[in-house]
Amino acid sequence: MLFETILLEKNEGIGVLTLNRPERQNAFNEKMWTEMVQALHEVNKDDEIRVLVIKGAGKAFCAGADVGGMASKEKKSRGAEAIRRGFANVQKMILGIQQMEKPTIAMINGAAVGGGFDLACACDIRTGSENSRFMVAFTRIGLFPGWGGTWLIPRIIGIPKAAEMLFTGNFMDAEEAKSLNLLNKLVPAQNLESETMSLARQIANGPPIAIRLAKLQLYQGLEIDLDIALKLAAAFETITLSSQDHKEGVAAFREKRHPQYRGE
């Protein structure tokens, strides 16, 4: 499917979704939200894609919502309930990323602010360069973070630092982001794409069933106790023990070669 505000490509098991409004620092308008939901649905059902990389065109990752569009006469004339319902595509997008079975990587080439920060936090892994920086921009314009940041951010960097960012709207630079594990990798800007794609290829070449179940348990484990987690782990490992991927992994280990996983 062709899109106007984003690009979706795939190659060797890797899907690359590019936010493509560089003239607006990849800020979201209504069209872009709709297209993101459609693209995520396509990725989720495409068995050829084993990992998704999300990045921004130009110098920014994502500036969140297009603030220029917020002040339109149409928006001002809408009632509170209509505005609340207008968040449906935002919610579908954030949930579509965070709950996707396949691993997701945010390649943060520049500023990730407001909803762009939340979008990055919805991904499983984040890579960045010295140009990466993060901000809860909602605070700067008197808004509550309506894209899920109050849930997402403290789970990654902890409550004290999340509170500071949410209350002040101050920027976090790349070095601090790496020290707080917001960034998994911090590399020179000229190496960001190659390092990110190398990580994506490693994941794409791994066993899809085991990785997807691991992601499911990773997030479920935040909400359940150890007893239930162990029971689910036993069920999930039973699934992988009976898979062709497990047989291939054992055979490759014995034959001292790289396994060729097929997700079966």
Overall domain count for the chain: 2
Kindly write down the DSSP assignment for every residue of 175-221, as one continuous string.
HHHHHTTS-SEE--GGGHHHHHHHHHHHHHTS-HHHHHHHHHHHHHT
- Which candidate, 259, 240, 257, places its Cα nearest to that of 248? 259
Residue 43 lies in a domain: yes
* Residue 264, in any domain of the structure: no
Q: Per the structure block, which two tokens stand in for 113?
A: 């602010």
Paired sense of beta strands 6-11 and 14-19, if any: antiparallel
On whether both 149 and 240 belong to a single domain, the answer is no
Determine the Cα–Cα distance for residues 12 and 183; give it in Å rounded to an integer. 25
Q: Is residue 18 part of a domain?
A: yes
103 and 194 housed in the same domain: yes
CATH assignment at residue 34: 3.90.226.10
Residue 248 β-bridge partners: none
pLDDT at 39: 96
Residue 1, domain member (yes or no): no
Claim to verify: residue 167 and residue 216 sit in the same structural domain:
no
Give me 92's structure tokens.
Answer: 């579908």
Domain span at residue 248 reads: 208-255
Q: Could you give the CA distance from residue 99 to residue 93 in angstroms, rounded to a whole number?
A: 10
Residue 93 and residue 135 in one domain: yes
Q: What is the CATH number of the domain that holds 247?
A: 1.10.12
Judge if 251 and 157 occupy the same domain.
Answer: no
Do residues 64 and 166 share a domain?
yes
> At which residue do the structure tokens 């993060």 appear?
134
Report the Cα–Cα distance between both ends of the chain, in Å, rounded.
27
Last residue of a domain, one of 185, 204, 223: 204
pLDDT (tens, 9 = 90+) of the chain, 264 residues, equals 689 999 999 999 999 999 999 999 999 999 999 999 999 999 999 999 999 999 999 999 999 888 775 555 455 567 877 777 777 888 999 999 999 999 999 999 999 999 999 999 999 999 999 999 999 999 888 998 889 999 999 999 999 999 999 999 999 999 999 999 999 999 999 999 999 999 999 999 999 999 999 999 999 888 899 999 999 999 999 999 999 999 999 999 999 999 999 988
Classify residue 149: in a domain, yes or no. Answer: yes
The DSSP result for 111-156, as a single string, is EEETHHHHHHHHSSEEEE-TT-EEE-GGGGGT---TTSHHHHHHHH
Give the C-alpha distances (Å, rounded to integers) separating 75 from 35, 72, 84, 157, 222: 20, 5, 12, 34, 37
Same domain, 95 and 164: yes
Among the candidates 204, 225, 245, a domain finishes at: 204
Shared domain for 25 and 46, answered yes or no, is: yes
Is the domain of 40 the same as that of 59? yes
Residue 122 falls inside a structural domain: yes
As separate numbers, helices (DSSP H) first and strands (DSSP E) second, the chain gives 13, 9
Do 20 and 140 fall into the same domain? Answer: yes
Residue 262 lies in a domain: no
Give the 3-state secondary structure of residue 75: helix
